[in-house]
């Protein structure tokens, strides 16, 4: 694959936003457990402290490359739960490390850093499996890939003193923290960690069901560069750079009308062989609609569903190409992921009864959320 074909105009526009973060003049924004966009406060919201114990993931055989710095609230607070669980905490951390080590190789052309924080793990029956995403500025209006992209591609933090992205796991479910095949009722932690961090890399939608920005409100507003490449099935672009960033479509488009929604980035289209279909169900599914490939795309990391026993630990070629469309320097096709050398022992799968869907849809929605839906054999990823 050759991912060196970039468009100068797009690269220049990205530089306006991410090379000079001090110009933004806006507080970092994220979506809380109730689905509301709120200003991030590193002490009140998550107790984030970059000086606390952290894990560093670097390229396995190059002196250069992306570095991921990971902090776990569970470990910092010695909760004995989640990633601090005496029995499985070390293995769970090792699987996160495996997912990030794979991403380091995928992003081999970059040399920046990304600070990923894992807030306190939760235990919510019938809720989501995991949530993840990047921090975004609340303004000015425009297209952004988020703080993770900015730090990786420019070496500069968009929000000093804060993490660049986040992933929260709900350990009410039966997770498999091994490197083999999950049991029939287990969800593969490695696969889900890769999915969530990829949302933080920028494959995420910020649009509301009415076409306004979920972050800044209104239209024009703050939208993602991923959204810049979206069009309906009739060939109409859904977003434009007018007034910074403007949604040009209709609510019908966002519900899959006008022959569906598609990702039109040139690199992804070249690898996929056509415009890539986007998940746009009717009715709208907050946090999941528009942020994933359509369910007709099989074997991909960024589809909206994962079932117990499923393993999806590496991208399809077009997904790597989509990251190139967003502006990442992709130099070559990565080798298949391998477990962390010398990592802690991993538990043997222990099948257990699947957790039933007891909560209402939409509980705890964030970008990158995975939630359980009634009537589906798999679990919904948001």
Which pLDDT band holds residue 28 (cuts at 50, 70, 90)? Answer: low
Among 365, 335, 320, 303, CA closest to 132:
365
Among 215, 224, 212, CA closest to 254:
212
Structure confidence by residue, pLDDT tens digits, 167-180: 989 999 999 999 99
d(CA 347, CA 324): 36
Note the pLDDT of residue 119: 87
Structure confidence by residue, pLDDT tens digits, 211-247: 999 999 899 999 999 999 999 999 999 999 999 999 9
Note the pLDDT of residue 333: 55
pTM of the model: 0.80
Q: Where are the domains of the chain?
A: 8-20+29-381
Structure confidence by residue, pLDDT tens digits, 109-166: 999 999 999 988 999 888 778 888 999 998 999 999 999 999 999 999 998 888 899 9
CA distances from 18 to 108, 120, 182, 262 (A): 20, 29, 40, 26
Indicate the CATH number for domain 8-20+29-381. Answer: 3.40.390.10
Among 71, 201, 193, CA closest to 136:
201
Note the pLDDT of residue 76: 86
d(CA 365, CA 288): 9
Average pLDDT of the segment spanning 74-89: 94
Q: Which of 6-15, 28-37, 51-60, 346-355 has the lowest mean pLDDT?
A: 6-15
Average pLDDT of the segment spanning 274-293: 94
- Better-predicted residue by pLDDT, 125 or 45: 125
| pLDDT > 70: percent of the chain | 71
Note the pLDDT of residue 58: 80
d(CA 285, CA 362): 8
Average pLDDT of the segment spanning 290-316: 95
d(CA 78, CA 154): 34
Which pLDDT band holds residue 362 (cuts at 50, 70, 90)? Answer: very low
d(CA 258, CA 235): 9
Q: What is the mean pLDDT of the chain?
A: 79
């Amino acid at each position: 694959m050759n991912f060196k074909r970039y468009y100068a105009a797009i690269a220049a526009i990205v530089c306006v936003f991410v090379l000079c973060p001090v110009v933004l003049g806006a507080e970092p924004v994220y979506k809380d457990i109730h689905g509301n966009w709120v200003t991030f406060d590193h002490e009140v919201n998550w107790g984030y402290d970059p000086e606390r114990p952290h894990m560093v993931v670097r390229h396995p055989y190059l002196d250069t490359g992306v570095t991921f710095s990971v902090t776990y609230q569970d470990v910092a607070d010695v909760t004995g739960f989640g990633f601090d669980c005496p029995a499985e905490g070390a293995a769970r951390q090792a699987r996160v490390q495996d997912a990030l080590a794979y991403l380091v190789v995928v992003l081999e052309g970059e040399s920046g850093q990304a600070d990923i924080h894992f807030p306190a793990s939760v235990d919510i029956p019938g809720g989501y499996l995991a949530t993840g995403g990047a921090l975004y500025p609340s303004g000015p209006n425009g297209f952004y890939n988020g703080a993770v992209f900015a730090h990786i591609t420019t070496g500069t933090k968009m929000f000093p003193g804060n993490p660049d992205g986040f992933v929260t796991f709900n350990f009410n479910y039966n997770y498999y923290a091994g490197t083999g095949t999950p049991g029939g009722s287990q969800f593969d932690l490695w696969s889900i960690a890769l999915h969530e961090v990829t949302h933080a890399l920028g494959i995420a939608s910020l649009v509301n069901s009415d076409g306004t920005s979920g972050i800044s409100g209104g239209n024009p507003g703050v939208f993602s560069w991923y959204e810049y490449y979206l069009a309906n099935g009739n060939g109409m672009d859904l977003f434009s750079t007018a007034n910074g960033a403007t949604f040009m479509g209709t609510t019908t488009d966002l519900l899959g009308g006008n022959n569906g929604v598609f990702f039109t980035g040139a690199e992804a289209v070249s690898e996929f062989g056509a415009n890539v279909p986007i998940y746009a169900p009717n009715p709208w599914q907050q946090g999941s609609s528009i942020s994933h490939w359509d369910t007709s795309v099989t074997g991909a990391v960024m589809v909206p569903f994962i079932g117990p026993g499923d393993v999806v630990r590496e991208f399809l070629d077009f997904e790597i190409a989509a990251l190139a469309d967003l502006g990442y320097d992709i130099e070559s096709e990565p080798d298949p992921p391998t477990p962390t050398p010398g990592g802690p022992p991993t538990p043997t799968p222990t099948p257990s009864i699947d957790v039933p869907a007891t909560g209402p849809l939409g509980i705890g929605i964030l970008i990158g959320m995975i939630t359980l839906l009634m009537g589906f054999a798999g679990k919904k990823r948001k």
